[in-house]
Amino acid sequence: MKNVLIVSDWDFAYIWKKVIPILKEEESVNISVLVVGRVYLPFFNKLTLDKVYLLQDYLESFDDIESISNDEISQLERKYGDPNLWRCVLADRNWVKDDYNTSMKKISKCYSFFEKVICETKPDIVLTNAYASMPHHVMYKVAEYNKIPCVRPLAMRLDNYFTACYSRGEFLELPKSTSDESDEIVRQKMLSIKEKLPKPFYEKIHVENRSDYARHIRRLLNYTCKRHFSGEYKNDHTKPTIFKKIRDEATFYCRKFRQKNLGVSANLDSDFVFFPLHLQPEASTMQLAPYWLDQKFIIETIAKSLPTGVLLYVKEHPTMIGRRESRYYRELKSLPNVVVIKTNENTGNILKNALAVFTITGTVGIESLLMGKPTFILGNPYYRECSEVVRLNCSPIENWSEVIKENLVKKIDENNVHHYFSKIISNSEKMFFNEPLLSKELVLNELNINRIAKFFGKEVRCIK
């Protein structure tokens, strides 16, 4: 009988508590669970599990560690570094702010904890949803060292298709051939996206939730109870005091009000390229582009590298309005060939009229490829392997002007784009594996849960 370790990350517990009984029945496996989020621990009490760990019981207090020697860190780096341990720190949007000594304590304790978990559960495979924190990153490295595969459903960002990804990044093994079905799906997608660009799933959900003020009040009251009275958020570094949360939210809404008229209307008759700002901090850049996190620097460098007469249109990520200081946008506007456009500008119209698109790891890179536009990237999203992508991060900055000028006039081979994404689709499954609390109806319905269970069951069966 195979041993399976599941990392249940926050509200993904709603998915796992439904998927686990199906896996146990259909795959005959022993399952252990690492729960992230004390509030979700009761979800697993009624399930027959081998072992259950709560992350917050092990990795939220570091007072028991006085100091970490350089020898200990060097030993960990020789064993797990790729090539060093800073990737652990850069993987965590909360702990990345710590000082050096605190970071070393957390790295040491994380590795010690996951060595214990892997030793005790002896998994044949680890199932997870992401690698968006230091514990996730360390868990993957310890499993990798012990030759234990870790798998997660990686979103293809194409109509809710997901594929099994066994790497911490977005490295995929694609089939050599495609199917008639996948060819037709991509062909229709390329045609429809040129007509009308659909709004991303995350954007639709966030817009709906942001406008539900009664929901915000309920969540604030619920948060207060769990943080300060029930103890469900005890020892949780991601849950600040209610006073800090209210202060942060007040700052956010004040900025959001001041920034509601951010940017100008886009002149689609101009010669321009497009760079949409990324959500930050976020795993999509911290993990996939750790050397390209300073977007102001990127924008300034692109602007200096463009041919004279070509403008750089910059658009803020919709969920970041109110998150950055207004000074951030003033500094962007001070660049002579940079234009900050309104956030409600239709991205589809922008893409249709742009000479090219620049992104770090964003979905807009996929959309621009499907539209037949020159696409420049700076990180390592899965679609970097498409032959029509220009990997700007592989060129020295002093050569960017030449690389950009050459590729602005280069015609995209849409057959190559079609063939690449057809291979992606033929290797993927259609389902919703998103944060359940953002859309319970789509994620937690019986049909979708069975699809998710089938997805993971297939991967479990593949392990020898």
Per-residue pLDDT of the chain (464 residues; tens, 9 = 90+): 999 999 999 999 999 999 999 999 999 999 999 999 999 999 999 899 999 999 999 987 787 787 889 999 999 999 998 789 998 888 888 888 889 998 999 999 999 999 999 999 999 999 999 888 899 999 999 999 999 999 999 999 998 999 999 998 899 989 989 999 999 999 999 999 998 888 765 565 555 555 556 777 787 888 888 888 887 787 677 788 888 888 988 898 899 888 988 999 999 999 999 999 999 988 889 989 999 999 999 999 999 999 999 999 999 998 899 999 999 999 999 999 999 999 999 999 999 999 999 999 999 999 999 999 999 999 999 999 999 999 999 999 999 999 999 999 999 999 999 999 999 999 999 999 999 988 899 999 999 999 999 999 999 999 98
User: What's the burial of 435, exposed, middle or buried (CB within 10 Å: 0-12/13-18/19+)?
Assistant: middle
Q: Bin 10: left if φ > 0, else alpha if -120 < ψ < 50, else beta.
A: left
Tell me the helix, strand and coil percentages in the chain, rounded to 5: 50, 15, 35
Same domain, 15 and 135: yes
Same domain, 434 and 455: yes
Domain of 65, CATH number, reads 3.40.50
Same domain, 141 and 221: no
Measured CA to CA, the distance from residue 192 to residue 184 in angstroms comes to 12
Query: Is residue 197 a part of any domain in this protein?
Result: no
The number of folded domains in the chain is: 3
Domain of 347, CATH number, reads 3.40.50.2000
Same domain, 291 and 343: yes
Same domain, 131 and 278: no
Same domain, 382 and 434: no
Same domain, 438 and 381: no
User: What's the burial of 221, exposed, middle or buried (CB within 10 Å: 0-12/13-18/19+)?
Assistant: exposed
Measured CA to CA, the distance from residue 144 to residue 138 in angstroms comes to 10
Question: Which of helix, strand or coil describes residue 72?
Answer: helix
Domain span at residue 246 reads: 212-258
Same domain, 335 and 411: yes
Same domain, 90 and 226: no
